[in-house]
């Protein structure tokens, strides 16, 4: 099994104080920053491009390419997306709580590379400990001269503001996050024309990167993009944090080199299923991802491209394991309820469709399902995500609405018997 | 204009301007794409998703909202294929699942976009069997607007209008997801001067106007297109009536003027037309000194006889006329002709001692058009608070500054509606305008930034009187300075509905019809037609009132004016009326002025007469009739014509249209005006050119300060006041702010008063009690008192007042 | 005439809170960005988000109260109804649900006699169910005043409620609660975090909503 630590190395070796500046400096911290500040900014971007680091927030867009799209207008901003809220995901929380300087150093390097003099770290409101640790790191960094004016005598200036969210999953969507940071409702913006690289925060060019993505930056600068690109299979370079939860013996965050199989991930890394119960299905990449089932997917390699080819995604790296005792109708209802609750409400199909789907599913789970409901679930889903394809097409502004469709496709294609059993028995067979 | 691009819509090639939204290109080429949230006068948001279409991309067909997709060359669009149809049906079904089916009792039914599009594009049935979303319904969100959140489809038209267009975001989306609703802050109602627009653009019956609710079904309404006469912008409107009663006014999207929007004063300020207080019969003062109803013959004999007596005793110059700015050009022309050829006087004024030199108003060189605001590099507003007195012009300036990038300099004695969009705002003490102008001309100190902004041409300057303590010379001196700014044009401001038309018809001492000055060739041509023109120069409003008070003027003919309430120095007007030998009034109501007349003739008015009006930029527009006048009321021109006949003069006027033709013949600049065309191809109006070319003269305006112990008075109008049209419109009457004294916090502290406390404001000519409003936008030492509020006496056109507890 | 709701009694912020607010506004290139931290400030000031608080925020950043309420009502953590001193939020999203969160919630409701979404009459305890709080590796999880407790069981949940009732801690120290009532964690939390939450809003220094290290208070 190929386990190699980049972003969790320090916290593993120094569990008691990995979050402090002393420990960070004692383990090579801020060396990458010093190195980067000696390089021209576009060379820094070049290293990140060479690393082929793909975004760790969900969409998996190549980070260096994203930076190179930044429009030249000034001021430019860097925004750290620490609004981790995808059900099943808890990796950024660990990175922020246990090694805040690492992501902060990544933020400073990123800001330097992109010519930004103000960066914002947006942390979800339900993560006060993350926010405190990051804030402490920011204060330490200011005091030590890694932030503020003339950083390390380079002439480069950077201010960092830690911003606390207040309970809205949609702010994890980058344009929703920018609206939120501007003091507005966290409604996603239209793309086009509001691509952050051109019209982002305050309509200025803006880089939005996920916490884990930024946590990789210091390593890349210190060891070179090529070294990073040498780790892991093509298209899935470097390591990746997987948040494993649900019916497994050893849930938790695991930093892994991609390329192992799902079987290895579930049975070796996470220790298999308690009481050796049978695996029923799993969500391979956060609540938005279409489900996988043992018969079809257990021996697929865990890479971005193989997962996409099989009709799903690694998304935020959240793997939720469901064993044979799971009522998939209930699980689906719970997932769709999440999206209905988190829909921002601005566009019609998502606002109306998600809660309609949720209500039908609850009705079925509670025993008042009708046979026509099955086709209706699919047809309503089709009106949110035409063709029910992957990657999803959308009648909506952002992908939140189509995300609610993923679990419905799973139960109607893999677990239709279970759905019909609810309808015919007038209740949940698992109760 | 850039090179057009070619787009294929439903297999048909069309050409379009690049950057234009697909929904508009399609519509302009006969392809209607259904929509709810898109509005041509607001930025697209792509929220309702009704306008989904498919465009071809290298990666296959892509579903996009046509309201947010700009056209590009070679774009291929399908608006009707099965997947588009399915998506549209899907969106409609989603919109309907929580929409109540209360169409039979909904005001919007019959003109409801949701209803119409459901019929055209929707699924035949709903599959929704769950309980619909419920809200308390309907709730009042202001005195004028009711909100039914169950009907709302969350298209954000109303909220966008409030933020983007009118700049008073008092309604907003609240809550989230499926619980999202539009609402106000709990104790802060939607008191916007423009709230009615949200009702008009609401695509369902969620927002309804209290004055119209349950008054008519749309299919029972009779319509006519007309022009609003509350302010001088010339806003185009759709008058709607049922059973001969005016019930509703909607804004029309006319590019040069209001672009679809109206102020609530224009939209709801029509109720007075059907007021029971309207005059229905002539009235004559009897032996006991009471006005009693009389026949037309008796009243005309009485008035003609008395007027004739004055004229034969003291000559025509002992007679004066006031008013005429509230009617049509035709009525104003008749008034002008009556006074000059039947009476023989040049003493006439359509302004109420609250305006500017008529030559400046309608004859200035480099006069701006409203549309110039669109291309302006910078805009100077130094005059009345546009939001209060020129509401739709305010929207145009706001748009220019907010959306089109014009720099904006606002100079005013207190906060104005435009301040939040101003690049530079200068506040000053009334009376010190001359100093402020000198500073602006020097461009030093606090004015450096203003001059910097105004160095971006073209400059458009909107100049008028900020308040009544300010000398009218200030605007003229400012205009003279502004002409030195790059590519400057000037729009002088005066507020009464048809004041510019009335000036063009000669209702001022110095001007004759067609902006002709006395003693010119044009005047000579007029004399050929009218007969000999009076030789003596005439008096303006203030001097007419002074003449009446002193007895130099013996008789007054009043047409649709209420000087006692309307001139800044109400005390002077009252004394003038008390001393007047004879007052003949033509009016729709017994006002505080006409109540003191000897003879009162009942006049027809708005929505009852046909004619033309001329707006602030010299644009002639048509007004049309929809409802009959009450009782025995008649048009002004007909009354004046009969009165002239009693003086033995035939004015030769037979109909409003004939008058219009006479104006066309006599006044060169009105040659392009034609009634038929104004109803059709010229329905956006015709700008009458041939300006006087009046060059504003710079004069040093002396600054004046209040005496010690006094405060400087800022005395200015509000949108809602105690004018007779407001007083007789029940929906608007309660909205007048009432008697108030706005004080800077430091003055309030000095006086030991707080918000809501009562103070006495005393001037040499009047005294009133007012509630204190703490107003940090004022300069210390200034008190702002809204002009002409219910039950409030006039303070006069004074600069200094005493304010005490 | 239509009756419009009359203005509620207005209480202004103190000068010190206003000063704090203007410090926060200065952190951002545009004042409006300060709306979210200011809403927390308003909550900390009055215990929850009142109309008055929203009006103050509006004044501080130059928006209308309606605009501020539009923002406040979008986010679940701005409580516009007075919650109890302790806000127990029970995650019932997918991972927690799979491991028994519904039973944990029922235990909390039963022990506290407070239904999810409600507050007890003494205004001591509020209970709510929430969507995923990022503690899936330590499911099922709850928070008290946003301080996390992972590895919950129905028994521990009952103990937690009883403890809040009887001990009535001045402030909630998350790490301490985890030691008392928690079980398996998503990951090793590292050093003991002594910061504590003063009320039903997140404890975060720059907002002034966090109390000093618990150790210091004890000492």
Q: Which residues pair with A282 in a beta bridge?
A: A292, A321
The CATH number of whichever domain residue B207 belongs to comes to 3.30.70.20
What stretch of H or E contains B602? strand B599-602
The counts of H helices and E strands in chain B are 24, 36
Is C5 inside any structural domain? no
Same domain, C65 and C111: no
pLDDT digits (tens, 9 = 90+) for B606-645: 999 999 999 999 999 999 999 999 999 999 999 999 999 9
Q: Is B31 helix (H, G, I), strand (E, B) or coil?
A: coil
- Nearest-CA distance from B78 to chain A in Å? 15
| Domain limits for position C25 | 15-72
User: What pairing do the DSSP bridges indicate for beta strands B800-804 and B758-762?
Assistant: antiparallel
The crossing angle, in degrees rounded to 10, of helices A100-113 and A211-223 is: 70
Q: What residue in C sits closest to A139 (Cα-Cα)?
A: C206
Same domain, B248 and B168: yes
pLDDT at C214 over 70: no
Same domain, C59 and C114: no
Token couple for A26: 């004692």
Is B279 inside any structural domain? no
pLDDT digits (tens, 9 = 90+) for C124-159: 999 999 999 999 999 999 999 999 999 999 999 999
Q: Do A16 and C191 touch (CB under 8 A)?
A: yes
Same domain, B795 and B734: yes
Is C116 inside any structural domain? yes
Q: Provide the pLDDT for residue C215.
A: 43
Same domain, B169 and B251: yes
Torsion on CA atoms A195, A199, A203, A204, rounded to nearest 10: 130
Same domain, B655 and B717: no
pLDDT digits (tens, 9 = 90+) for B60-101: 999 999 999 999 999 999 999 999 999 999 999 999 999 998
Final residue belonging to a domain, choices B449, B466, B492: B492
Query: Looking at residues C14-19, what average pLDDT do you find?
Result: 92
- Nearest-CA distance from B87 to chain A in Å? 6
pLDDT at C66 over 70: yes
Q: Provide the pLDDT for residue C212.
A: 73
Is C215 inside any structural domain? no
pLDDT digits (tens, 9 = 90+) for B290-316: 999 999 999 999 999 999 999 999 999
Token couple for B100: 């109540």
Query: Looking at residues B565-586, what average pLDDT do you find?
Result: 96
User: Is residue C199 within 8 Å of residue C205, measured between CB atoms?
Assistant: no
Query: Which ranges constitute the DSSP H helices of B132-204?
Result: 157-160, 195-201
Mean pLDDT of chain A: 96
What stretch of H or E contains A363? helix A348-365
Interface of C with A in 88-127 (CB under 8 A): 92-95, 97-99
Q: Provide the pLDDT for residue B444.
A: 86
Is B695 inside any structural domain? no
Q: Do B154 and A395 touch (CB under 8 A)?
A: no
A245 in contact with C, Cβ within 8 Å = yes
Query: Which ranges constitute the DSSP H helices of A173-257?
Result: 174-181, 196-199, 211-223, 225-229
User: Is residue A162 within 8 Å of residue A123, measured between CB atoms?
Assistant: yes
Is C170 inside any structural domain? yes
Domains of chain A listed by start with CATH number: 9-229 (3.40.50.11540), 239-323 (3.10.20.600), 328-425 (1.20.1440.230)
Token couple for A4: 């190699």
Same domain, C67 and C28: yes
pLDDT at A2 over 60: no
| Domain limits for position B350 | 300-355+498-687
DSSP B430-450: TT-HHHHHHHHHHT-GGGHHH
CA B735 centroid distance within chain: 17
User: Is residue A273 within 8 Å of residue A323, measured between CB atoms?
Assistant: yes
Q: Provide the pLDDT for residue B691.
A: 63
User: What pairing do the DSSP bridges indicate for beta strands B207-209 and B245-251?
Assistant: unpaired
User: Is residue B92 within 8 Å of residue B117, measured between CB atoms?
Assistant: yes
pLDDT digits (tens, 9 = 90+) for B640-687: 999 999 999 999 999 999 999 999 999 889 999 999 999 999 999 999
pLDDT digits (tens, 9 = 90+) for A368-385: 999 999 999 999 999 999
Q: Do A166 and C27 touch (CB under 8 A)?
A: no
pLDDT at A62 over 70: yes
- Nearest-CA distance from A205 to chain B in Å? 20
Token couple for A268: 């070796």
- Nearest-CA distance from B182 to chain C in Å? 9
Query: Looking at residues B232-245, what average pLDDT do you find?
Result: 96
Same domain, C105 and C147: yes
pLDDT at C63 over 90: yes
Q: Do A128 and C184 touch (CB under 8 A)?
A: no
Question: For chain C, how many structural domains are there in total?
Answer: 2
Strand ranges across the sheet with B582-587: B291-293, B283-285, B599-602, B582-587, B555-559, B319-323, B348-349
Q: Provide the pLDDT for residue B33.
A: 97
Place of tokens 């006496």: B793
Token couple for A114: 């992109």
pLDDT band at B482 (very low <50, low <70, confident <90, very high): very high
Is C203 inside any structural domain? no
Q: Which of A238-247, B357-366, B609-618 bottoms out in mean pLDDT, i.e. has the lowest?
A: B357-366
pLDDT digits (tens, 9 = 90+) for A322-346: 999 999 999 999 999 999 999 999 9
Nearest C-alpha neighbor of A101 from the set A34, A154, A160, A25: A25
Same domain, B614 and B593: yes
| Strand runs labelled E in chain C | 86-91, 118-119, 125-130, 142-144, 147-149, 172-173, 196-197, 210-211
Q: Do B185 and C7 touch (CB under 8 A)?
A: no
pLDDT at B223 over 80: yes
Residues from chain B that touch C68, judged by Cβ atoms under 8 A, are 185
| Higher pLDDT pick, B797 / B427 | B427
Residues contacting B55, CB < 8 A, separation 6+:
B22, B61, B62, B64, B69, B75, B76, B77, B78
| Strand runs labelled E in B108-253 | 139-140, 145-147, 171-174, 181-184, 207-209, 222-227, 236-242, 245-251
Cα first-last separation, chain B? 63
Q: Which of A28-37, B381-390, B516-525, B759-768 bottoms out in mean pLDDT, i.e. has the lowest?
A: B516-525
Residues from chain C that touch A75, judged by Cβ atoms under 8 A, are 29
Residues from chain C that touch B142, judged by Cβ atoms under 8 A, are 2, 4
Nearest C-alpha neighbor of C45 from the set C63, C18, C24, C7: C18
Q: Provide the pLDDT for residue C216.
A: 47
Nearest C-alpha neighbor of C87 from the set C39, C42, C130: C130
Query: Distances from the Cα of B227 to the Cαs of A107, B81, B209, B335, B675, in angstroms?
Result: 60, 43, 21, 21, 14
Interface of B with C in 183-202 (CB under 8 A): 183-189
Nearest C-alpha neighbor of B158 from the set B32, B47, B68: B47
- Nearest-CA distance from B190 to chain C in Å? 10
Q: Is A260 helix (H, G, I), strand (E, B) or coil?
A: coil
pLDDT at C119 over 90: yes
Nearest Cβ partner for A185 among C39, C71, C137:
C71
DSSP code for B218? G
pLDDT at C4 over 60: no
Residue B677's φ and ψ, nearest 5 degrees, are -65, -35
Q: Provide the pLDDT for residue C1.
A: 39
Residues contacting A267, CB < 8 A, separation 6+:
none
Query: Looking at residues B718-722, what average pLDDT do you find?
Result: 96
How many degrees, rounded to 5, is the angle at CA C197 between CA C192 and CA C200? 145
Q: How far apart are CA B551 and CA B322, in angstroms?
A: 16
Is B214 inside any structural domain? yes
Same domain, C96 and C62: no
Q: Which residues pair with B55 in a beta bridge?
A: B62, B77
Residues from chain C that touch A93, judged by Cβ atoms under 8 A, are 134, 186
Same domain, B557 and B584: yes
Q: Provide the pLDDT for residue B123.
A: 77
User: What pairing do the DSSP bridges indicate for beta strands B76-78 and B139-140?
Assistant: unpaired
Same domain, C93 and C181: yes
How many degrees, rounded to 5, is the angle at CA A108 between CA A316 and CA A101? 70
pLDDT band at C211 (very low <50, low <70, confident <90, very high): confident
Query: Which ranges constitute the DSSP H helices of C27-153?
Result: 35-46, 51-61, 65-72, 94-98, 101-112
pLDDT at B700 over 70: yes
User: What pairing do the DSSP bridges indicate for beta strands B758-762 and B767-774?
Assistant: antiparallel
Q: Is B242 helix (H, G, I), strand (E, B) or coil?
A: strand
Query: Mutate which of A186, A359, A386, A388 to test chain B, going by most B C-beta atoms within 10 A?
Result: A386
Q: Provide the pLDDT for residue B519.
A: 81
- Nearest-CA distance from C206 to chain B in Å? 27
φ/ψ bin of C168: left (φ > 0), alpha (ψ from -120 to 50), beta (otherwise): left
Is B112 inside any structural domain? no
User: Is residue B520 within 8 Å of residue B284, measured between CB atoms?
Assistant: no
Q: Provide the pLDDT for residue C3.
A: 52
Question: For chain B, how many structural domains are there in total?
Answer: 5
Provide the residue count of chain B.
805
B142 in contact with C, Cβ within 8 Å = yes
- Nearest-CA distance from C77 to chain B in Å? 12
Q: Provide the pLDDT for residue B783.
A: 97
What stretch of H or E contains B410? strand B407-412
Write the ipTM: 0.96
How many degrees, rounded to 5, is the angle at CA B69 between CA B68 and CA B75? 165
Q: How far apart are CA A38 and CA A34, in angstroms?
A: 7
Same domain, B169 and B183: yes
C77 in contact with A, Cβ within 8 Å = yes
A356 in contact with B, Cβ within 8 Å = yes
Same domain, B615 and B562: yes
How many degrees, rounded to 5, is the angle at CA B516 between CA B512 and CA B520? 115
Same domain, C113 and C164: yes
Q: Which residues pair with B266 in a beta bridge?
A: none
Same domain, C95 and C148: yes
The CATH number of whichever domain residue C156 belongs to comes to 3.40.30.10
Q: Do A395 and B52 touch (CB under 8 A)?
A: yes
Is C102 inside any structural domain? yes
pLDDT digits (tens, 9 = 90+) for A89-147: 999 999 999 999 999 999 999 999 999 999 999 999 999 999 999 999 999 999 999 99
Place of tokens 């001193």: C85
Same domain, B250 and B158: yes
How many degrees, rounded to 5, is the angle at CA C67 between CA C65 and CA C72? 90
pLDDT at A1 over 80: no
The crossing angle, in degrees rounded to 10, of helices B82-97 and A348-365 is: 70
DSSP code for C200? S
Q: How far apart are CA A225 and CA A223, in angstroms?
A: 7
Nearest Cβ partner for A190 among B46, B95, B179:
B46
Is B121 inside any structural domain? no
Token couple for A196: 């952050």
Same domain, C22 and C66: yes
C62 in contact with A, Cβ within 8 Å = no
Mean pLDDT of chain B: 95
User: Is residue C94 within 8 Å of residue A335, measured between CB atoms?
Assistant: yes
What stretch of H or E contains C216? helix C214-218
Is B116 inside any structural domain? no
pLDDT band at B1 (very low <50, low <70, confident <90, very high): low
């Amino acid at each position: 099994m190929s386990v190699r630590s980049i972003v969790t190395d320090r916290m593993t070796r120094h569990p008691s104080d990995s979050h402090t500046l002393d420990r960070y400096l004692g383990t090579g911290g801020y060396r990458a920053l010093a190195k980067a500040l000696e390089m021209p900014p576009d060379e820094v971007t070049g290293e990140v491009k060479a690393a082929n680091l793909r975004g760790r927030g969900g969409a998996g867009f190549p980070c260096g390419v994203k930076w190179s799209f930044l429009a030249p207008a000034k001021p430019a901003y860097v925004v750290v997306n620490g609004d981790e809220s995808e059900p099943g995901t808890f990796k950024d929380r660990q990175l922020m709580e246990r090694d805040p300087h690492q992501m902060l150093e990544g933020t400073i390097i990123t800001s330097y590379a992109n010519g930004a003099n103000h960066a914002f770290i947006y942390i979800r409101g339900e993560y006060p400990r993350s926010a405190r640790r990051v804030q402490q790191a920011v204060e330490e960094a200011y005091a030590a001269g890694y932030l503020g004016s003339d950083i390390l005598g380079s002439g480069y200036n950077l201010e960092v503001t830690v911003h606390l969210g207040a309970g809205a999953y949609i702010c994890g969507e980058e344009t929703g996050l920018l609206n939120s940071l501007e003091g507005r409702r966290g409604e996603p913006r239209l793309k086009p024309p509001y691509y952050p690289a051109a019209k982002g925060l305050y309509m200025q060019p803006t880089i939005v990167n996920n916490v884990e993505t930024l946590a990789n930056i210091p390593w890349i600068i210190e060891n070179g993009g090529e070294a990073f690109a040498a780790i892991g299979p093509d298209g899935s370079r470097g390591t990746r944090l997987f948040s494993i939860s649900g019916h497994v013996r050893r849930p938790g965050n695991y930093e892994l080199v991609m390329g192992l199989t799902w079987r290895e991930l579930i049975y070796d890394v996470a220790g298999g299923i308690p009481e050796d119960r049978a695996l029923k299905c799993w969500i391979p990449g956060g609540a938005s991802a279409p489900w996988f089932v043992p018969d079809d997917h257990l021996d697929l390699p865990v890479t971005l491209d193989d997962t996409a080819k099989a009709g799903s995604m690694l998304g935020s790296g959240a793997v939720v394991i469901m064993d044979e005792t799971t009522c998939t109708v209930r699980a689906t209802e719970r997932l769709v309820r999440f999206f209905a609750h988190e829909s921002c409400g601005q566009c019609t199909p998502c606002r109306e469709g998600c809660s309609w789907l949720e209500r039908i599913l609850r009705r079925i789970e509670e025993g008042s399902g009708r046979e026509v409901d099955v086709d209706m679930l699919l047809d309503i889903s089709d009106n949110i995500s035409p063709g029910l394809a992957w990657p999803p097409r959308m009648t909506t502004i952002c992908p939140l609405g189509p995300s609610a469709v993923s679990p419905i496709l799973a139960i109607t294609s893999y677990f239709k018997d279970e759905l019909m059993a609810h309808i015919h028995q007038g209740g949940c067979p698992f109760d | 204009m850039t090179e057009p691009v070619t787009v294929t819509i439903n297999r048909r090639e069309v050409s379009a301007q690049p950057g234009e939204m697909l929904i508009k290109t399609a519509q302009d080429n006969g392809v209607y794409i259904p929509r709810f949230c898109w509005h041509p006068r607001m930025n697209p948001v792509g929220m309702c998703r009704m306008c989904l279409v498919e465009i071809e991309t290298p990666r296959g067909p892509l579903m996009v909202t046509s309201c947010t997709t700009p056209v590009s060359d070679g774009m291929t669009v399908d608006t009707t294929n099965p997947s588009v149809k399915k998506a549209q049906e899907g969106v409609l079904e989603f919109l309907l699942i929580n929409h109540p089916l209360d169409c039979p009792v909904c005001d919007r039914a019959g003109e409801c976009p949701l209803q119409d599009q459901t019929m055209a594009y929707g699924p035949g049935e709903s599959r929704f069997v769950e309980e619909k979303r419920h809200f308390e319904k309907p709730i009042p969100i202001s005195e004028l607007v009711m909100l039914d959140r169950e009907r709302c489809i969350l298209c954000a038209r109303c909220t966008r209008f409030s933020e983007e267009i009118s700049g008073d975001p008092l309604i907003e989306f609240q809550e989230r997801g499926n619980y999202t609703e539009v609402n106000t802050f709990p104790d802060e109602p939607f008191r916007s001067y423009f709230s009615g627009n949200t009702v008009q653009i609401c695509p369902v019956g969620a927002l309804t106007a209290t004055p119209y609710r349950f008054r008519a079904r749309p299919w029972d309404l009779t319509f006519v297109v007309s022009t609003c006469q509350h302010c001088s912008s010339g806003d185009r409107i759709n008058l709607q009536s049922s059973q001969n009663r005016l019930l509703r006014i909607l804004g029309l999207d006319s590019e040069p003027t209001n672009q679809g929007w109206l102020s609530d004063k224009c939209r709801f300020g029509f109720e007075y037309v059907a007021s029971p207080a309207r005059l229905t019969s002539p009235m004559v003062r009897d032996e006991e000194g009471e006005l009693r109803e009389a026949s037309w013959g008796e009243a005309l004999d009485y008035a003609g006889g008395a007027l004739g007596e004055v004229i034969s005793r003291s000559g025509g110059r002992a007679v004066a006329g006031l008013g005429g700015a509230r009617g049509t050009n035709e009525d104003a022309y008749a008034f002008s002709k009556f006074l000059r050829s039947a009476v023989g006087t040049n003493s006439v004024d359509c302004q109420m001692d609250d305006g500017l030199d008529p030559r400046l108003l309608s004859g200035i060189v480099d006069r701006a058009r409203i549309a110039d605001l669109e291309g302006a590099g910078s805009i100077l507003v130094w005059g009345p608070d546009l939001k209060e007195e020129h509401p739709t012009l305010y929207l145009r300036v706001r748009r220019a500054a907010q959306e089109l990038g014009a720099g904006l300099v606002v100079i005013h004695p207190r906060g104005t509606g435009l301040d939040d969009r101003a690049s530079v705002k200068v506040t000053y003490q009334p009376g010190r305008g001359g100093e402020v102008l000198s500073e602006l001309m020097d461009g030093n100190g606090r004015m450096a930034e203003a001059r910097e902004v105004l160095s971006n041409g073209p400059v458009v300057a909107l100049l008028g009187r900020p308040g009544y303590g300010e000398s009218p010379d200030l605007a003229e001196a400012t205009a003279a300075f502004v002409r030195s700014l790059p590519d400057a044009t000037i729009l002088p401001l005066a507020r009464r509905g048809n004041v510019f038309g009335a000036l063009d018809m000669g209702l001022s001492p110095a001007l004759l019809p067609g902006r002709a000055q006395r003693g010119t060739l044009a005047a000579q041509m007029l004399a050929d037609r009218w007969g000999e023109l009076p030789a003596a120069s005439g008096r303006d409003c203030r001097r007419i009132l002074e003449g009446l008070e002193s007895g130099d003027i013996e008789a007054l003919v009043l047409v649709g004016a209420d000087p006692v309430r309307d001139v800044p120095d109400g005390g002077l007007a009252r004394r003038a009326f008390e001393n007047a030998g004879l007052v003949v009034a033509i009016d729709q109501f017994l006002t505080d002025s006409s109540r003191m007349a000897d003879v009162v003739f009942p006049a027809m008015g708005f929505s009852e007469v046909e004619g033309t009006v001329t707006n602030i930029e010299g644009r002639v527009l048509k007004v049309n009739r929809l409802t009959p006048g009450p009782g025995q009321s008649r048009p002004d021109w007909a009354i004046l014509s009969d009165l002239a006949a009693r003086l033995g003069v035939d004015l030769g006027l037979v109909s409003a249209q004939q008058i219009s033709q006479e104006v066309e013949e006599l006044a060169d600049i009105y040659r392009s005006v034609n009634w038929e065309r104004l109803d059709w191809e010229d329905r956006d109006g015709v700008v009458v050119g041939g300006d006087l070319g009046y060059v504003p003269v710079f004069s040093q305006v002396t600054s004046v300060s209040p005496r010690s112990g006094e405060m400087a008075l800022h005395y200015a109008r509000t949108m809602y006041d105690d004018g007779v049209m407001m007083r007789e419109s029940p929906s608007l009457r309660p909205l007048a702010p009432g008697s108030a004294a706005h004080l800077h916090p430091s003055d309030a502290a000095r006086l030991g008063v707080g918000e809501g406390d009562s103070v006495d404001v005393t001037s040499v000519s009047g005294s009133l009690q007012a509630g204190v409003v703490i107003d940090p936008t004022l300069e210390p030492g200034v008190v702002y008192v809204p002009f002409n509020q219910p039950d409030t006496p006039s303070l006069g056109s004074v600069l200094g007042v005493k304010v005490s507890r | 005439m239509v009756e419009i709701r009359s203005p509620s009694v207005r209480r202004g912020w103190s000068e010190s809170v206003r000063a704090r607010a203007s410090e926060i506004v200065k952190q951002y290139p545009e004042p409006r960005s300060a709306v979210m931290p200011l809403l927390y400030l308003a909550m900390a000031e009055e215990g929850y988000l009142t109309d008055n608080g929203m009006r103050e925020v509006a004044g501080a950043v130059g928006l209308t109260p309606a605009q501020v309420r539009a923002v406040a009502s979008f986010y679940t953590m701005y409580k516009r109804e007075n919650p109890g001193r302790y806000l127990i939020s029970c995650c019932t999203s997918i991972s927690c649900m799979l491991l028994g969160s519904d039973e944990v919630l029922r235990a909390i409701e039963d022990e506290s006699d407070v239904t999810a979404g409600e507050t007890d009459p003494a205004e001591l305890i509020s209970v709510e169910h929430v969507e995923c709080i990022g503690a899936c590796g330590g499911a099922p999880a709850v928070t008290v005043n946003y301080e996390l407790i992972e590895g919950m069981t129905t028994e521990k949940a009952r103990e937690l409620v009883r403890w809040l009732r009887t001990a009535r801690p001045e402030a909630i120290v998350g790490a301490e609660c985890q030691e008392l009532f928690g079980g398996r964690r998503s990951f090793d939390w590292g050093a003991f975090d002594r910061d504590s939450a003063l009320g039903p809003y997140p404890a975060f220094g720059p907002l002034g909503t966090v109390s000093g290290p618990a150790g210091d208070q004890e000492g």
